[in-house]
Amino acid sequence: MIAIKSILADSNRAIFFKGAVGSFAIKFVGAGLLFLSQVALARLCGAEQYGFYAYALSWLTILSILAILGFDTSLLRFIPEYLVKSDWGRLRGIIRTSFVYSAIVSVCISVVGIAAIWFLRAKITAEWIAPLCIMLCALPFYAFTVIRQAALRAFKHVVLAELPESVLRPILLVLTAMLFAHLGAVDATRAWLSQLIAILIAFVLGSVLLLQRMPRASGQSTIHYDDRLWLTTSMPMLLMSSMNIVLSQASIVILGFYRSSEEIAVFSAATRIVILATFILMAINSIAAPMISELYYANKRQELQSILRFSAKGIAVFTTLTSLLIVVLGRYVLSFFGRDFSDGYAILLVLLAGQTIKSFMGPASFLLNLTGHHNLTAKVMGIAVAVCIVLNVVLIPIWGVWGAALASGVTMALWNLTLVIMDILIVRLDPSIFCLLRRKNRQSVTADEKTIAADSIYNADFLEK
């Protein structure tokens, strides 16, 4: 209680603490519901059909990055600034612009994608066609969801930002899939129909929440557009988001070219489990992003480093505990997906190592991006993407799903370590758990200096006497 009171006594830490705890709680519940929903789908569909479903889901994640155009990060950059300046016209303008551009791009991608599948249907495995087409129909609504989440996070409503997708959508997905199960066998197509229905309902609820949390003063202002500034800021963010998603999805996509859907299903299940080791980082990122922008441009570097150090403590504790639990219970948890998934434990451990290192590095990419060094982040990520693709192309034909796990884990660890080094050298701020060790060293040095100073005073008094 005393520790919490001391945290809440500092305004910045209080905002960060409340936002991080709220986001952590909703992500904890959401991660459990997501895991249960994937287990339910895997059991209803079987390994082969679940592999088809998971493959289309990976494409949804990839294509949504293109549809969002980097506005999810730009909203985190500009909304806090417009709130501080009470620039309600541009606040409404950037939100409306992000939805309009995302709608245009996502619909174009969907139309082109469905047309491409239709013309190439003779060369595509029949089981891929329906899930991919339904996924493309869901793409615009999924893109709108990400935009809406970013806007609410920028308003520091991190719990409301994630509530529809983290809690409601997995529940709706399972209920709809179970309804289909009563009507007959659940295949990848019916699983994706369930996903589409869940996305639509969660989107409607999320839109209502955003409208309710818009500042009242903004509704009476004239909309101002600064499209050129917003687009020039969003395009580098789009590039980095694209590379980020390639890093996370390259292994499973390349697996689809070389291996069976059963191996894709095992890799996807292991990936779902290791995400549990990173959701404390995702929770902290949700509230850290707007605060990084606000404190850095207010030239409050010491307060910002204090927030980063505070987040590093939470990351160190929760990531370590979660990773140990996954190591102990991983084989048992994999068995929930079905008999065909029990051989994925070693793959899970390899992926877990890379994700654990990523979590320990803290909000490294956010710190670079939101302090004006996004071009440097893009270069680092470009190299990481190239390394990731090369490793997957080389290792998957030789070792299959083992090669995919190794390529993913190694790239994830090296990429995030490099970003932290850039943060320390260029931004002069450390978002990783290393800052805890450095602080301890500084405290030791300070204690030694105090001891030396006390000895000097004593010696001076002794000489006077």
pLDDT tens-place string over residues 212-270: 888 877 777 888 888 888 888 788 777 777 777 777 777 887 887 887 777 888 888 88
In contact, 66 and 242? CB cutoff 8 Å: yes
Residue 275 contacts residue 322 (beta carbons within 8 Å): no
Mean pLDDT of 23-43: 77
Share of the chain above pLDDT 90, in %: 15
Query: Which DSSP string corresponds to 117-136?
Result: HHHTTTTS-HHHHHHHHHHH
- Alpha-carbon distance of 59 to 384, in angstroms, equals 20
Element (H, E) at 432: none
CA 24, CA 27: separation in Å to the nearest integer? Answer: 5
Alpha-carbon distance of 241 to 243, in angstroms, equals: 5
pLDDT at 459 (0 to 100): 37
Return the half-sphere exposure (C-beta side, CA atoms, 13 A cut-off) of residue 125: 13
Q: What radius of gyration, in Å, describes the C-alpha atoms of the chain? A: 24
Structure token digits, residue 173: 């997905």
What confidence score (pLDDT) does residue 10 get? 55
Is 37 within 8 Å of 174 (Cβ atoms)?
Answer: yes
| Cβ(160)–Cβ(212) below 8 Å | no
109 Cβ contact partners less than 8 Å away, ≥ 6 residues apart? 63, 66, 67, 136, 139
How far CA 201 is from CA of 13, 55, 142, 206, 272, in Å, comes to 35, 23, 11, 9, 23
Rounded Cα distance, 247 and 243, in Å: 6
Could you tell me which residues come within 8 angstroms of residue 2 by beta carbon, excluding any fewer than 6 positions away?
A: none
One-letter amino acid of 307:
I
- Identify the sign of the CA torsion 26, 28, 32, 38: positive
- What is d(CA 101, CA 68) in angstroms, rounded to the nearest whole number? 8
Structure tokens at 74: 């730009």
Residue 155 confidence (pLDDT): 84
The tokens of 352 are what?
């877990």
* C-alpha closest to that of 292 among 19, 77, 74, 23: 77
Mean pLDDT of 353-364: 89
Whether 126 shows a pLDDT value over 60: the answer reads yes
Residues 199/169, Cβ–Cβ less than 8 Å? yes
Element (H, E) at 442: helix 434-464
Mean pLDDT across the chain: 80
At 17 the pLDDT is: 63
Q: Is the pLDDT of residue 56 over 90?
A: no
Whether residue 290 contacts residue 154, with contact meaning beta carbons closer than 8 Å, is answered with yes
Sign, CA torsion 461/462/463/464: positive
Rounded Cα distance, 319 and 280, in Å: 7
Q: What pLDDT was estimated at residue 103? A: 92
Quote the tokens at residue 337. Answer: 């997906």
Task: Report the distance separating Cα 247 and Cα 249, nearest Å.
Answer: 6
Distance of alpha carbon 230 from alpha carbon 54, whole angstroms: 34
Residue 307 pLDDT grade (very low, low, confident, very high; cuts 50, 70, 90) = confident
At 93-123, the pLDDT tens digits run: 989 999 999 999 999 999 999 999 888 877 7
User: What residue has token string 């943060």?
Assistant: 423
The per-residue pLDDT for 324 is: 92
Q: What is the pLDDT of residue 9?
A: 52
**Residues 374-400: tens digit of each pLDDT:** 778 888 888 888 999 999 999 988 888
Q: Can you give the pLDDT at residue 19?
A: 64
Whether 448 shows a pLDDT value over 50: the answer reads: no
Q: Are 80 and 73 in contact (CB under 8 A)?
A: no
Placement of tokens 């609820």 in the chain: 205
How many whole angstroms separate alpha carbon 66 and alpha carbon 139?
Answer: 10
Query: Residue 165 has what DSSP assignment?
Result: I
Q: Are 261 and 92 in contact (CB under 8 A)?
A: no
194 touches 135 (CB < 8 A): no
Contacts of residue 462, Cβ cutoff 8 Å, sequence gap at least 6? none
**In terms of Cα–Cα distance, which of 81, 24, 4 is closest to 291?**
81
Asked whether 411 and 247 are in contact (CB, 8 A), the reply is yes
